[in-house]
Structure 1
Amino acid sequence: MARHVRAAAALVIAAVMASGCAASVAGRAVRAPGEPGAPANSHRAISAHEFLLADGDPTPLGPAAAIAVGTNYFTGARPPECTAALLFRGSPLRPGGSSDHAESAYRFSGQALYAESVDTYDRSLKIRDVISKGFTAVSNCHGEAIGVSPSGVFRPMRLSFFGTTDDGVLVWTMTRPDWTCDYGLAALSRVVLMLSACDVKPGFPMTGWASKRRAQIDRRTT
């Protein structure tokens, strides 16, 4: 279900990525108009946690097994302009004012790390603005970027790719010779999903996977 990357912007100099391996999802369900006992256009809130992957759900890395987001996720970045490209937790790419937030990491065989975070909103978001602002923020990371986590300081990484798809998804990649992290930001009218996947080998299909996760959430919110 991979979609063609529309704005595939090049090897932008450097970007650090350490906050990247955790993500979570949030969402809101819309009750059908005219449903007995509910006024038309009313919304039934769904907790952000319900939009996260559940244990056993299939992923490109294998069946998901939820675990807590660990201390190896970045909470800071140097230089500061690389914060958007590196942080999963506390990412500045998430619009403020969410009504609910949830996040989870997932365990797989091997060294791969994967996480999601979800934010839900009581107001409608401008999807194009969320993605375009994210694109600009990520592309501002030039040169080597260093992620800082409670576990310590991560070795420098560089932003090697970033682009958008035609369905409200921003993707980008942070690399160094022995480690690659792929990030995704998916925006819906009332939900924003962040994804992070890191492994010793490159090639995680973030473009298609982020679009697929967005579509899965969209089906539950419309």
Structure 2
Amino acid sequence: MRKPVRIAPSVLAADFAKLGEEVAAITAAGADYIHLDIMDGHFVPNISFGPAVTKSIRDYSDKPFDCHLMISPFDPFVEEFVDAGADIITLHQESGPHAHRSLQLVKSHGLKAGISLNPATPASTLEHVMDEVDLILVMSVNPGFGGQKFIASQLDKIRTLRSMIDASGRDIDLQVDGGINAETAPLVIEAGADLLVAGSAAFKGGPSQYAENINLLLGRA
């Protein structure tokens, strides 16, 4: 049975001058998760923030902190994000040679473990780690920058992963990140996604608009 569709606003699109208040506002507006995009300027061509900022905003929301680590190497930083208050830590399949071991490392700390696929990485690469993952993240843009255009070819990948998850019988979130807006959200939901990451589409217009933005993305407006 499919899960209800949920929303994980990406704080990368928030006003960083008042980040804690922004996290509190998006939580009050109906966010299900708080998505934190961690970028290192090495694995992806940009730098965002790290565990110190993550920890500084932890008390502003009671929602799960969904930490997407676009970094390489991955393993040496897991414990810092555990200590910062992460609930889910997602690694990239492409960030190192030992995805299975990295997933086990996250789970050894009692957290949920996610794995993300870049647009060119096929769904089949996850065939042998389905028993370890709690979340699969499909990147529908090339990671590293916000505001990019949705890559339509990823819809087939979402459908394939939906079938893989259903066949596994496990409770795995199927998350999509990149170019999610009122036009693309219905497409990824139809393809099988049940957790949407949205940056500018969630945070546009300021706090008074956040609930309306979320309802629009989830088809409730």
Q: TM-score range by the shorter chain?
A: 0.3 to 0.5
Q: Larger Rg: 1 or 2?
A: 1
* RCO higher in structure (CA 8 A, sep ≥6): 1
TM-score, normalised to structure 2, is 0.32
TM-score, normalised to structure 1, is 0.32
**Structure 1 or 2: larger strand share?**
1
